[in-house]
Amino acid sequence: MRFGVGLFSLQCTAMQPRHWTGAYRDMRELAVLMEDLGYDELWLSEHHFFYDGYCPALLPAAASVLSVTERLRVGTGMLLLPMYDPERLAAVANDLTARSGGRLDLGVGMGYRDIEFDGHGVSRKQRLPRMVRGLEVLEAAEAAGGAPIWMGAQLVDPVKRAGQRGHPLLFSAALPFERCRTLTQIWEEGWAESGRPASDKPALGALRNIWLTEDSSEREAARDWVRASYVQYAGLGWTLPAVGEHQQQDYAEETDKAIADTVETTISGSAEECVRQLKQFDEIGIKHIAFRLILDGEPRDALENQLRRLADHVLPELRDRVPA
């Protein structure tokens, strides 16, 4: 398995105010620390026109991390592809791939907020054709040695399309394990339908809320930071749609319930317990785990402490078992 940390969104929130410049500096410093501790990946996240400065430009942010690291991969999770000129985007991604020695992962999604489309002069009705056109351009770039494409999706059709096109998925941390398993099966159906050999299947990825501790008060604090960080998504109007037997989680209309359900996805406890739960993902083909540790309200020293603890007690167990 491979391990990363996310989602770096560079916000200055109502609950945790800070200067944006400090947020970008902190990310570079944490990236260097992550690299020293043996992490493989750092994942960024994008939104636009939000009060807290949620990062709207992932490739410049990725460049800032890639320029100060030597081994760490940097992924966009997710860049909202329909809002960009795909040829220009491909040129920037190619440049960054060349500069960094191939350490960029280009995760792309469609976006869902009307304001973000309208502010960029794009009709929301055009998001699917623009997504497909953008993917065609990026796939051509990838085939020529450009950045690997990842996709973010949680509905049946987009998940299957990702499988059909041969792109790995990075699942949201809000998806419980069972839903990840359902969607992985759908993705594999798409992969099989495309006629690609099963042996070529890429490993999938998942963000996971996690906090390694056996201290109950620390555990409660961490779960509360997870709660606070999902309040951001309620503000953004995000909804986790129903898939098969898995119910919708509506952050806008049923905020408290949706957030409480999501907090329950948090893996917490001893190192043995964290390893046990993460192995479940390994067994269904999800071998990239991005610890979702960038949380609203979380002090930096708590974050650094958790990065060290997971690196010392969890990474060695799972890396040894299934070398990536």
Partner 1 sequence: MRLGLVLADRQEAEMARDAESHGLFGVLAGTGDARTAVTSAVYASTATDFVRIVVKVRLGLEHPVTVAEELSVLDNVNNGRTVVLVDSGDLAVDDAADEVAVLREALGNRPIQHEGPRWKVPAGLPANATAPKAIAVTPKPAQIEIPFWTAIAREPAECGSAGSVQPGIARIAGSLSEDRALVTAWAEAGATHLLLELPEGGEAGNRAELLTMISRYLAPEVGMPHFPRVMSDSRVPLPWPGNGRA
181-185 long-range contacts, Cβ below 8 Å, gap at least 24?
A: 181/284, 182/243, 182/244, 182/245, 182/246, 183/154, 183/159, 183/243, 184/284, 184/285, 184/286
Residue 199 is given by DSSP the state G
- Supply the minimum distance, in Å, between the C-beta of residue 30 and partner 1: 14
Segment 193 to 252, residues that bind partner 1, using CB under 8 A: none
Say which residues have a Cβ less than 8 Å from residue 14's Cβ, sequence separation at least 6. Answer: 51, 52
Residue 12 within binding range of partner 1, rule CB under 8 A: yes
**Rule CB under 8 A: is residue 21 a binding residue for partner 1?**
yes
Considering the complex, state which of residue 9 and residue 266 has its C-beta at the smaller distance from partner 1. Answer: 9
Q: How far is the CB of 10 from partner 1 (least distance, A)?
A: 7
Residues 6+ apart with CB under 8 A from 308: 37
Tell whether residue 33 is a contact of partner 1 (CB under 8 A): no
- Closer residue to partner 1 in complex, CB, 62/290: 62
Site for partner 1 in 280-299 (CB under 8 A): none
> Do 4 and 39 contact (CB within 8 A), yes or no?
yes
Distance CA 39, CA 30 (A): 11
For residue 140, state whether it binds partner 1 (rule: CB under 8 A): no
Strands 239-240 and 249-250, sheet pairing: antiparallel
39 binds partner 1 (CB under 8 A): no
Q: Which of the stretches 55-63, 193-201, 215-223, 249-257 binds partner 1 when contact is defined by CB under 8 A?
A: 55-63
Residue numbers 101-120 binding partner 1 by CB under 8 A: 114-115, 117-120
18 binds partner 1 (CB under 8 A): no
Q: Does residue 30 belong to the site contacting partner 1 (CB under 8 A)?
A: no
> From the list 26, 35, 36, 95, which residue makes contact with partner 1 (rule: CB under 8 A)?
95
Write phi, then psi, for 12 (nearest 5 degrees): -120, 95
- Smallest distance from partner 1 to CB 223, Å: 28
Q: Which is nearer to partner 1, 63 or 226 (CB)?
A: 63
Instruction: Label residue 38 left, alpha or beta by phi (over 0 means left) and psi (-120 to 50 means alpha).
Output: left
What whole-number distance in Å separates Cα of residue 132 and Cα of residue 155?
16
308 phi, psi to nearest 5 deg:
-70, -45
Helix axes 20-37 and 58-66, enclosed angle (nearest 10) = 50
* Count of positions on this chain that bind partner 1 (CB under 8 A): 48
Paired strand residues for 291: 5, 208
Q: By CB under 8 A, is residue 24 in contact with partner 1?
A: yes
Contact status: 276 vs partner 1 (CB under 8 A)? no
Question: Looking at the DSSP assignment, which residues form a beta bridge with residue 250?
Answer: 239
Q: Report if residue 133 touches partner 1, rule: CB under 8 A.
A: no
Q: Does 145 bind partner 1 (CB under 8 A)?
A: no
What's the half-sphere exposure (Cβ side, CA atoms, 13 Å) at 48? 18
124 contributes a contact to partner 1 by CB under 8 A: yes
| Contact residue for partner 1 among 33, 37, 122, 128 (CB under 8 A) | 122
Q: Which amino acid is present at 288? A: H
In the complex, the smallest distance separating the C-beta of residue 130 from partner 1, rounded to whole angstroms, is: 12
CB of 160 to partner 1, least distance (A): 25
Binding stretches for partner 1 (CB under 8 A): 10, 12, 19-21, 23-25, 28, 48-57, 59-61, 63-64, 67-68, 83-85, 88, 91-92, 95-96, 98-99, 114-115, 117-126
